[in-house]
Structure 1
């Protein structure tokens, strides 16, 4: 059996021939694999976990009010860069190209909304908040073309690519591209933890520092709730916090999300993958671990530079096994949230749920396209007419999975202000002006096309055929 050292020696010599990637990428890749092979894993001692205090996870309501003076606000905003993670494709929703160009509401895409929001800030305060998109090799070319349409906007848009690493063959740890897999399948983007070295390697970090920028607000491009929050920025600058993770109270839908803990005097992210099997149920309980990571992160740019230069960001490695043409391969990834423990004076802020509105599936699209939300200045605003603070839970069958199919099955999106839950399966088609209330289940029998007529009001009902309407 080849030892870890043998594997690493073979890997290094094979990787040296990968001309498609830069020296920085090769070094980063070798570094990651050698950490993985050395078995360096951070074992959490369950008994040492402590619930963070309000000093560590600050309640949003306790943040200081903002200065009234718009000149002060401009000063704050001029220290900010907004960065959206734009490496994901819309494949799970049946779309080709970057997920950020899926139309969300009123014919506008995620990217349109983000640009409108920043345009409004820049116009209102006369500041210059740039937008940065971190692409992957999967989304780079498409994004480059799409961004041209904003050339007349008053938002400076920057793009850079995150690293491209080769997948390694499980059997012998040789990079897949060295075995003749020259297409895209031989490569992967190594998770959003790669944002820190990539921001620096791209030269963008130094550009922003030279412009006097101090903080970057990082968020997923598909989280409609991740808008610039001046109270958070103000708090971080006043308290010299190098890193802030926005967390929000867990509901039963979020039990797998990472949470913040205090551990050996530092704040850190605890992910379900790090939890010993016998404690998984405890981790999922919303009694003990009440908050989860929204992946809205605020990070000091000087601190990023310091830590990347010192090679100090050794986030937990997430091994992601895949199969390509019948060959078992491994891609090693890291997550940006796991970097929290390396920054000085790092905190969480427990934010309102409205700051976490991700659109991961067509069921989420149904929520944001319904009367539950309206659009104002690029912001998605929740309808005050809904009394329940939680959103309805929505489950749509495979017939609705792709955006195209989803849109064709609704003449218009139903009113769901008073809906608690909706479950739809089978060949179901919705007319216009429908209202859904309470708990609604619609199950079309196999081979039956079930049409819900225009104007139907359905409350607390299970529908299996036209006779139930």
Structure 2
């Protein structure tokens, strides 16, 4: 495999990638090619995490006046490298409109900037924001930031750029070639790439020189992960080097990564399902045995992270995630490849004394699919003047839209030309087939629409329930 890696290294150098990026990919490649059998995190090697302080416990115990001091020492970083390809987007997902506020369409990025500006004004803090963009999201994102009349930042970079790496041909171990679209030969190394990007960018040095001690990191598609002085104060009070916000798993989360403890070291670990052996899957998916998942909202002490990165010359030894796909995700007959990735939360295992804090779903509102977007655009939410996505209890109906007709954002928008229906009275919503919705449609109970075998329409003002469109005489 040495010759095969050298071809990847050569390709990365031709692409202008740095020594740090190449060193990181070499680590991933070596693990993939030599340690397949040791990549699993076995059930007997871990123990469940059950006793974690909650946000509400923390809120009742901290000094709220002092919390502003901790918040003033906090910087904010958003992961913004994704294109939203799962929804058919070819631009930064953060530029997708989420909902309206005072008749104005608001994108993820608009709301993030609004949250930052509001916190700055309300609490009198600097709260610098940095976006980790990719080569494919940078230009459009920075153009949008420049147009925001209320956001201004001079002393801390607004952007750092994540690395890219070659997709690997599974059959040969060499970098894949795809002449139809050479861009598809490349992929991001997962959000664990954040650490080497931070190291290489010098951002940690800049923040520390200006007196910042803590860095809060989250995904740009999670509008619940807004800056929190409560959690900043809690993090400072504990003296911990690293803190993950976790939430309780539901049946919908059973196939996702979860937090466990290493029985040998006693340290916390993030175990992704790709790291679970087949014989351990039942235990790993047991939401009662392993009740907490990683929200990817992470707090880290800047000085400790700098020292850890220096110890490993900028490349943390994170577990490798093997993501097997085809080089063209839309073509199942194209060359089979592996994308070698790491998870940001996996670094929790590298820091002695890392902790977790349990948060409600109010801090975990990700949008990965149009099903999620449907809920975010619905009347279950209210976007406040502080740019917070408010809901009564943050327990949402399960929404399942027919992927044939709603998976891509363009198809989704065409079928909801007047906005999504009201789901205030809905327990769940399932759409089978091709349905377009009129104005002021309301859902209730376990609302369901069956496939009629042809394009169908829900007229203005109708109610949809368990039996489909309800006849007028039933209402």
Query: TM-score by structure 2 length?
Result: 0.88
Runs of at least 5 residues in structure 2 that lack an aligned partner in the other structure: 329-333
Q: Note if contact 1:118-1:155 (Cα within 8 Å) is conserved in structure 2.
A: no
Distance of aligned partners of 1:333 and 1:412 in 2 relative to their CA distance in 1, 3 Å threshold: closer
Residue 42 of structure 1 and its aligned partner are, at CA, apart by 4.4
Closer, same or farther: CA 404–35 of 1 in aligned 2, 3 Å:
closer
Secondary structure (helix, strand or coil) at the match of 1:316 reads coil
Q: Deviations over 1:247-300 (max 9, x none)?
A: 111111111111111112111112212222122122112221111111111111
Listed as ranges, the matches of 1:378-389 within 5 Å are 378-383=387-392
Q: Deviations over 1:224-245 (max 9, x none)?
A: 2111122221111111111111
Asked if 1:458 is matched to 2:458, the reply is no
Distance 1:120 1:66, change over 3 A: farther
Measure, in 2, the Cα distance between the counterparts of 1:198 and 1:284: 32
Change (3 A) 1:113 1:441: same
Deviates more, 1:450-459 or 1:290-299: 450-459
Q: 2:327 aligns with which of 324, 327, 336?
A: 324
Q: Does 1:400 align with 2:406?
A: yes
Which of 35, 38, 61 is the matching residue for 2:56?
Answer: 61
Which one of 414, 420, 424 corresponds to residue 413 of structure 1? 420
The 2-side partners of 1:429 and 1:16 are apart by 46
2:43 and 2:283 in contact (8 A); partners too: no
Counterpart of 2:374 (choices 357, 363, 366) is: 366
**Does the 8 A contact of 1:167 with 1:330 survive in 2?**
yes
Match of 1:236 in 2: 235
Cα deviation code 1:365-408 (max 9, x no counterpart): 22122211101121100046xxxx62101111122223233233
Offset from partner CA, 1:86-109 (integer Å, 9 cap, x none): 111022223221000000010100
The worse-fitting range, judged by mean Cα deviation, of 402-411 and 290-299 is 402-411
Q: Which moved more, 1:400-409 or 1:284-293?
A: 400-409
Higher relative CO (Cα under 8 Å, sequence separation at least 6) belongs to 2
Name whichever of 356-365 and 149-158 sits farther off.
149-158
Name the CA shift for 1:340/1:22 in 2 (closer, same or farther; >3 Å): same
1:317-357 per-position Cα deviation (integer Å, ceiling 9, x unaligned): 01223333744433211000111100121011111122111
Number of residue pairs matched by the alignment: 455
Moved more, 456-465 or 310-319: 456-465
SS in 1 for 2:47: coil
Whole-angstrom CA distance in 2 between matches of 1:335 and 1:93: 22
Q: Does 1:129 align with 2:127?
A: yes
Q: CA deviation at 1:464?
A: 10
Separation in structure 2 between the aligned mates of residue 429 and residue 53 of structure 1, nearest angstrom: 45
C-alpha change, 1:181 and 1:163, in structure 2 (3 Å) is farther
Taking a change above 3 Å as real, the CA distance of residues 45 and 423 of structure 1, as seen in their structure-2 partners, is closer
Q: Answer yes or no: is the 8 Å Cα contact 1:66–1:230 preserved in 2.
A: no
Q: Which residue of 1 aligns with 2:198?
A: 199
Distance 1:171 1:442, change over 3 A: closer
* Corresponding position of 1:260: 259
Deviation at 1:28, TM superposition (A): 2.1
305-314 vs 355-364, greater mean Cα deviation: 305-314
Distance change >3 Å, CA 276–CA 464, structure 1 → 2: farther
Q: Give the conservation status (yes or no) of the 8 Å contact 2:68–2:229.
A: no
Q: Distance in 1 between matches of 2:169 and 2:464?
A: 53
Q: TM-score, normalised by structure 1?
A: 0.89
| 2:283 match | 282
CA contact (8 A) 1:115 1:155 kept: no
- 2:363 — aligned with what? 355
Q: Deviation per CA, 1:196-232, whole angstroms, max 9, x where unpaired?
A: 1101101212111111111111111111211112222
TM-fit CA distance, 1:309: 1.2
1:79 maps onto 2:86 in alignment: no
User: Which residue matches 1:443?
Assistant: 450
Q: Deviations over 1:34-71 (max 9, x none)?
A: 233331734434224222253xx3232321544343xx
- Displacement, 1:173? 3.0
Q: Which moved more, 1:409-418 or 1:106-115?
A: 409-418
1:90 paired to 2:95: no
CA distance in 2, matches of 1:404, 1:47: 46
Structure 1: which 5+ runs fail to align?
none
